[in-house]
Structure 1
Amino acid sequence: MARLKEKYLGLKSELQADLGIANPMQTPKVEKIIISVGAGFAMKDNKLIKNIEDTITTIAGQKATTVIAKKSVAGFKVREGMPVGIRVTLRGENMYNFLDRLVSIALPRVKDFRGVPRNGFDGRGNYNFGLQEQLIFPEISYDSIMQIHGMNITVVTTADSDKAGLTLLEKMGMPFTKGSTNG
């Protein structure tokens, strides 16, 4: 069992008490994590798209997929069928393993890190934030990447409010900045 999942199961009753939930089945939990990279800068370079896909696959521990444009958009110079991004959805053990590595290893390696922003909640308990570069993950070799790129990470929870989602992620070790939240 993943280390973070054991931690969650241990603090489930504490979380239930903090949020004032009567039914233990209503205790919020992390449902899935989505890692995505918008690769509009690499649309015409298949080697770069493949390199980004390999990088995200290494980071996630699960095969990433290339997102293909469904429509042509002349203003963005996008044609139908062109690769526009890379994404992977993590659930179960892979999700807990990734979140554990993100919180305990990768985020502390960010230069001048003071915590992730608290204003990334969507109103329904899901949290969204971005990273500037993929080099903060120790499994990525500097020599293997062709271009530094950022990524967007979405943590989907079963929480019904931002307060419940924030409490869940704080208890699981997510390093938020000091200050107030927007909800």
Structure 2
Amino acid sequence: MASLRGLSRPVRGLPLSQISRQPYCCSIRCASSSQPSAAELKDLEDSGLRAPPLNEDEKKDFRPWKRQVDRKFGLPSGRYSYHPPKFDRGPLHPVQSPPSSDPTARDYVPGPFNLPRLRQTYLSTVASDIMTLTYLHTPPGTPDKEASQRLREWDGSSPYHKNRPLRAPRGSPVLPLRERDINFTNIPEIKEISIASYVPAALQDMDHLLVARTMLLAITGTTPEITKTKADVAQWRIRSGEKAGVKTTIYGNAAYEFLDRCINIVFPRIKDWKGIKASTGDSSGNLAWGFTPENMRLFPEIEVNASVYPPKMLPGCRVFVKTSATSDRQARLLLQAMGVPFHGQVRD
């Protein structure tokens, strides 16, 4: 048994009858003890482990692309060449799309590769606190409140008013969202952040547009899109269709990182700043605020390269925060829990 332990593992797996027939297996030569000779290396080079060299005629005939062109029928699909369906045809269809976490899915996005501090705070603390603060106990058996009528009815002065759909409210072509109570299924969160900068000076000098685009690229990490004017303003010498602004939108962890820099770096350094106006919002849970050119220099990405941006060419910007909240009140509560200050009269 002691002699068998000295053998290699493949040899130990052979039966004893085969080991006795192969006496050379017991002698193991270490690579460090002796080196192969030139003849042994030549035998390895001439072995059948590599393909034989091609002569000139064979090289001319070796044209794989010609075989592909002349092939009348395509090669059979491989076992692993699976393509998910382009459209979702319902939960009862026999062919279902894989989940987004599957690498073969069409909407698969690798990552996340990091967890921002603000998002981690939201998941561990803010989400549960918002659900607790907005909880309203309803005893069992309490009848549901009737929803208020937001659409206008027809007065019936014409026979054509019968069976017509209700009209939108006067002065508001877009109907705002109806506020829903917060529970564990619809806790407000940040969906995306859009940053836009209007540069009217770019109509006379395109370098202003280049500075604005470089600024948004530095603070967001995404390539901004150039916007054009939509109307003619003769007093400001603006014609429709001219390039006069940039905008970009960030999602996911990038949005949380940008908001984290605003809360912990930019906002505390603004002098004589009371906070964001509490009246901001579009009645659907989306809030906005603005930064002046002086405030833009407080971002660390711009401050570290302040000499790159000309002092009189750096523009301001407008920040739009889109949340999953159904009212401005819920959106303010979310941003207040994250550290965004508000001041002034609240408009619900």
TM-score, normalization by structure 1: 0.90
Aligned match for 1:73, one of 220, 227, 232? 232
Deviations 1:18-47 (A, max 9, x none): 222463121111111111111112223222
Equivalent residues of 1:62, 1:94 under 8 A apart:
no
Q: CA RMSD in A?
A: 1.8
Residue 137 in 1 paired to residue 251 in 2?
no
Q: Which structure: greater strand fraction? A: 1
DSSP-derived class of the 1:89 partner? strand
Residue-pair matches, total: 181
CA distance in 2, matches of 1:151, 1:92: 21
Find the counterpart in structure 1 of residue 51 from structure 2: none
Q: Following TM superposition, by how much is the alpha carbon of 1:74 offset from its aligned partner in structure 2, in angstroms?
A: 5.1
Matches within 5 A, 1:1-183: 1-10=115-124, 11-20=126-135, 21=181, 23-69=183-229, 71=230, 73=232, 75=234, 76-133=236-293, 134-140=296-302, 141-146=305-310, 147-177=313-343, 179-183=344-348
Q: Following TM superposition, by how much is the alpha carbon of 1:66 offset from its aligned partner in structure 2, in angstroms?
A: 1.0
CA distance in 1, matches of 2:224, 2:203: 17
Kindly tell me: are residues 44 and 24 of structure 1, through their superposed partners in 2, closer, same or farther at Cα, counting changes over 3 Å? Answer: same
Deviations 1:123-167 (A, max 9, x none): 112111111121121211332223132111111111111111111
CA distance in 2, matches of 1:79, 1:49: 16
Kindly tell me: are residues 165 and 74 of structure 1, through their superposed partners in 2, closer, same or farther at Cα, counting changes over 3 Å? Answer: closer
Structure 1: gaps spanning 5 or more residues: none
Same amino acid, percent of matched pairs: 28
Equivalent residues of 1:19, 1:164 under 8 A apart:
no
Q: Which has the higher contact order (CA 8 A, sep 6+)?
A: 1
TM-score, normalization by structure 2: 0.49
DSSP-derived class of the 1:25 partner? coil
Q: Which structure: greater helix fraction? A: 1
Kindly tell me: are residues 37 and 22 of structure 1, through their superposed partners in 2, closer, same or farther at Cα, counting changes over 3 Å? Answer: closer
Q: Which amino acid aligns with 1:182?
A: R
Query: 4+ runs of 1 displaced by more than 6 Å?
Result: none
CA distance in 1, matches of 2:345, 2:231: 42
